[in-house]
Amino acid sequence: MSANEFRVERDSMGELRVPAQALWGAQTQRAVQNFPLSGIPMPRGFIRALGLVKWAAAGVNLDLGDIDKVRGFAIQKAALEVAEGRHDAHFPVDVFQTGSGTSSNMNANEVIARLATQYSDGTPVHPNDHVNRSQSSNDVIPTVIHVGAALAIAEHLLPALKELSQTLGRKAADVGETVKTGRTHLMDAMPLTLAQEMGAWRTQVDDGIARLQGTRSRLHSLALGGTAVGTGINAPPEFAARAAALLSRQTGLDLRPSRDFFASLAAQDTAVELSGQLRTLAVSLMKISNDLRWMNSGPLAGLGEIALPALQPGSSIMPGKVNPVVPEAVTMVAAQVIGNDVTVTVAGQSGAFQLNVMLPVIAYNLLQSIDLLANAAHVLARSAIAGFAVNPRQIAGALARNPMLVTALTPVIGYDLAAAIAKRALAEGRPLREVAAEMTDLGEGRLAKLLDPADLTRGGVRHGRLGD
C-alpha cells in the first residue's frame, strides 16, 4: 500500500498507521499485527452480541445522563448496525488474541466511535470515554458469550432439535409397526418395532432439549456491571439491572444481572456446562447417525433394513454406488463438537484469581458447536430420516431366521434346552420354530403363539411355566 492508503491513529502507546478505509483505530491495528495466528475472526454471533451490549450500555448511560444525547443516540445507532452485521469486515481481530478479549472489545469501541462521530455531525466520540463508559472488557466479553450463545440456542438450535424430534415422531407413525430384529453387541437379539427403535432416538433428542433448557437460566445471567474485577468500579449501581432490562427487551431473552459478579468474571462454569450439554447432544446425534448407517448398509451384503435417500454418487471409481452421506457428515459434526468441548473445558479452568484468560476461544468454540449442531439436526431430519424407505422383505427374512426368539421359550422349557434349540437352528440354517417343534412337545399352535415376533415386542412373560 502507498502512503495515501493509510491514516495515522493514536492510542496511549503512541501513533500507528491504519488502513485509510478501516473503521477501526490504533488498538485494533495493534491486535491485527500482534496476532497473525489463524486468520479466523470472531464469529458473527459474537459480533452481533457485542453490538447489542454496546447498544444497551449506551442506552443506560444516556438515561442516567452520563453521556449527552447527541453522542448517546449516535453510539446506539452505530452499535445496532454492528449487531446487524453491516460492518463485519471491520472486525479483523483473530480468535486467538488477548485472553480477556480486550482486543475485540476495543475493536467494537473503535468502530462504533468512528461511526458515531460521523452520525453526530462531527461531535467527537471517544472509544473508551463514551462507547466503553461504565464497562470493562472483563465484564463485556463474558456477557457477550452468554448473550451470543443464548440467542443462537433460542433462534437456531432449539428450533432445529424440535424439528428433528417431530420428524422422528412422524416417521415412526408411518413405519413404526414394522417388527425387526433387535441387536446387542451388533449380534441378533430379541425383536422390537421400528417405532420403539425410533422412539429411543427421539427420547435422546428430547432429553438434549431438556438439558439445554435447564442450562438457559444460568446462561441468562450476565456479568455486565462487574467491570474490572467484579466490584463494579466506574459503573453506577443501577447500571447492571438497567442494561439487562434493555438487552432483554431487544433480544426477547429473560436476561438479568449476575448474583455474583466476581464469579461471573473469574470463572466460566456456565460456558463449560453448556459445552457439556452440546457434547452430550453430539453423542446422541452420532449414535442415531451410526444406527442409520448400519440399517442402510448393503444393499446386498449388509443389513439392508432401510434405504436412505440417494443424494449423490458415492464413488469416483465404482459406478452406481450410493453412500449414507448425511449420517456420515453428522458424525463428523459430532466429532468436531466433542473436540470443541475439550477446548472449552481446558479454557474454562484457565482463570486466575479475578479473570479467565481464554474468553475468545470459549466464545468461538461454543458458538461453532451450537451452529454445527443446529445445521446437523436440520439436515438429518430433512435429508435422511424424513425420506428413508423400509425394506420389509429384508427385515422379515432376518426376523424369521433369528435364533434369539428362543428367549421367549425359556420360562417354559428352561435355559439349557432353549440354548440347544438356538444352536441347532443356527447350525442347520433352519427356522427356529421348526427345530423347537422337534425338540419339545409344545406343538405348532403353542409355539406359534409363544414365538410371535409382534407379541414379543410387547414384553412380559410368555404363557406357561417351566415343567408344564
DSSP letter at 402? -
Q: Is 87 one of the catalytic residues?
A: no
Do 418 and 388 contact (CB within 8 A), yes or no? no
CB of 112 closer than 8 Å to CB of 54: yes
Closest to 355 in 3D by CA, of 265, 269, 272: 265
Q: Which grid cell sits at 39? A: 486468520
- For the chain, counts of helices (H) and of strands (E): 18, 10
Is 378 among the residues known to form the active site? no
Dihedral angle of Cα 118, 122, 123, 125, to the nearest 10 degrees? 40
Ramachandran angles phi, psi of 385, nearest 5°: -70, -45
| Alpha-carbon gap, residue 32 to 333, rounded angstroms | 30
CA distances 150 to 249, 256, 376, Å, are 14, 13, 19
DSSP 3-state of 7: strand
How do the residues of the chain divide into helix, strand and coil, expressed in percent and rounded to 5? 60, 10, 30
Q: Is the peptide bond before 299 cis (omega within 30 degrees of 0)?
A: yes
Distance of CA 244 to the CA centre of its chain: 25
**What would the DSSP string read from start to end of 14-60?**
EEEEEETT-S--HHHHHHHHH--SS--BPPHHHHHHHHHHHHHHHHH
CA angle, 28 then 31 then 32, to 5°? 90
Give per-residue burial for 273-305: e unless 16+ CB within 10 Å, then b. Answer: bbbbbbbbbbebbbebbbbbbbbbeeeeeebbb
Question: Phi and psi at residue 192, in whole multiples of 5°?
Answer: -150, 170
Asked whether 222 and 255 are in contact (CB, 8 A), the reply is yes
Grid cell locating 82: 454492528
Q: Rg (Cα) of the chain, in Å, rounded?
A: 30
C-alpha cell at 18: 491504519
Given the residues 2, 12, 185, 316, select the one marked as catalytic. 185
Angle at 283 between CA 277 and CA 289, to 5 degrees: 135
Catalytic residue among 217, 315, 378, 463: 315
Question: Which of the residues are catalytic?
Answer: 185, 315
